[in-house]
Chains A and B, each alone.
Chain A
Amino acid sequence: MSGISSSGVSDLKLKRFLEHNQRLQEQLEMRRISVSEASQSLIKFVMGTKDLLIPTLWGNPPSDPFSKQATGCCTVS
């Protein structure tokens, strides 16, 4: 019993090429936006979203969740 015949190997090779080309075709047809449009969109989102890790742009939070008071320590009198 022989292994895959040489024509079998060619069939596989062709199949793989055709599948690869199909994916390339899909990539070609894919709709892409320009770098300027993508950049504008990213900038718009960033500048429009409140971010309390950047107080110079968005101010300080109303209260500091990490201040000692927040943890409710008890005092011993």
Chain B
Amino acid sequence: MAERIANARKEAEYLKDKIREKKAALNDTSLKVMSQELEPLTRINIRIRRVLKGHLAKIYAMNWASDKKHLVSASQDGKLIVWDAYTTNKVYAIPLRSSWVMTCAYAPTGNLVACGGLDNMCSIYNLRTREGSVKVARELSAHSGYLSCCRFMNDRQILTSSGDMSCMLWDVDAGMKTMEFNDHTGDVMSLSISPDQRLFVSGACDSTAKVWDIRSGRCVQTFTGHESDINAVQFFPNGDAFGTGSDDASCRLFDLRADREMNIYTHDNILCGITSVAFSISGRLMFAGYDDYNCNVWDTLRSDRVGVLMGHENRVSCLGVASDGMAMCTGSWDTTLKVWS
């Protein structure tokens, strides 16, 4: 028996060496080098176009609706607010049962919004009830830790990530989990669904990002490289890669087909953690929200920093780009959201 274990150990070492060899053989250049011949972007001209005021405490999360006009924000003042980003009108102000909210999401149809946090639950709200008022449709309870992120696949299915180190897929109508995703060894902080909805990527406090097959529940790839908690993950627009933001003060780009880190976005004078990341519609720009109150804009290909969006008076806790790529919204602990274009 001891011999069998020793053999298994040896085989593991052998396999790891072979994997290293294979990967090294494919490491023929870098994205940065291949992008050198592209024209550098002159400083981008993105500025504040709208300020959404109304929350009374720190904003922790925001999510655009698919109609590119509305967005939902969550604040520890115990409210979810649905805004018209162009008129700045508040369409709905939804009081929450638990004010310790950490995430919110807008369903693609616009019928539902969801949120969750230290209550360990994902609460689903129906915006379009027959009576006309917003009501709690479901409270999805099964996580044993805080809800860090939730994202709708459609009105019937929602994915959640948790401080209990797992992710779950839920049937909203049935109010039950249909799949559990276990492999992380630290709190899972963020998730992003691939454009074709077959996969999702998660980032965790174990410094890894994992790609999961939604149907089978299996972790199909694990990406290392970050040196601290990953707070944010977001798929690149074509689904072949994803961006991450971490407490190690760097953002990185990982490619699924190459199975490796492609680029790192960092600067000697950036010492604080990243809370949120999002791509512009072509993927050329990567927006990242930082603890130092700013949002840095990176050239995803050349890895140059092409802009610093200063506009908040406290940490930028969340951000997102609308699906038509026309506007970007940042949310902050300073209680405001700002829409940039």
Binary B-proximity of A16-35 (CB < 8 A = 1, otherwise 0): 01101100110110101111
A30, B259: Cβ atoms closer than 8 Å: yes
Give the contacts of A25-77 with B (CB-CB under 8 A).
25, 27-28, 30, 32-43, 45-47, 49-57, 61, 65-66, 70-71
Say whether A7 faces chain B, with CB atoms less than 8 Å apart: yes
Residue of B nearest to A16 (CB): B8
Distance in Å: Cβ of A48 to nearest Cβ of chain B = 8
Contacts A10-B1, A42-B301; A35 near B41 (Cβ below 8 A): no
A residues adjacent to B (C-beta < 8 A): 7, 10-11, 13-14, 17-18, 20-21, 24-25, 27-28, 30, 32-43, 45-47, 49-57, 61, 65-66, 70-71
A14, B262: Cβ atoms closer than 8 Å: no
Residue of B nearest to A56 (CB): B42
A37, B301: Cβ atoms closer than 8 Å: no
Task: Tell me which residues across on chain A come within 8 A of B258, comparing CB atoms.
Answer: 32-35, 37-38
Say whether B152 faces chain A, with CB atoms less than 8 Å apart: no
Complex Cα distance, B22 from A9, in Å, reads: 34
A42, B29: Cβ atoms closer than 8 Å: no
Contacts A27-B19, A28-B22, A32-B257; A14 near B45 (Cβ below 8 A): no
Complex Cα distance, B208 from A59, in Å, reads: 38
A46's contact among B12, B16, B29, B283, by CB below 8 Å, is which? B283
- Sample 22 A-B pairs with CB under 8 A, ordered by A number: A14-B1, A14-B5, A20-B12, A24-B12, A24-B19, A28-B18, A30-B221, A32-B260, A35-B30, A36-B29, A36-B34, A38-B257, A38-B262, A42-B300, A46-B283, A51-B284, A52-B281, A52-B325, A53-B44, A54-B41, A66-B49, A70-B86
Number of interface residues of B (CB under 8 A): 58
- Interface pairs A-B: 3 shortest CB-CB: A51-B282, A17-B8, A49-B282
Task: Tell me which residues across on chain A come within 8 A of B23, comparing CB atoms.
Answer: 32
Query: Which one of B123-131, B197-205, B234-242 is at the interface?
Result: B234-242
Task: Tell me which residues across on chain A come within 8 A of B259, comparing CB atoms.
Answer: 30, 32
Residue of B nearest to A6 (CB): B1
Contacts A24-B16, A41-B240; A46 near B284 (Cβ below 8 A): yes
B282, A42: Cβ atoms closer than 8 Å: no
Task: Tell me which residues across on chain B come within 8 A of A49, comparing CB atoms.
Answer: 237, 281-283
Distance in Å: Cβ of A31 to nearest Cβ of chain B = 8
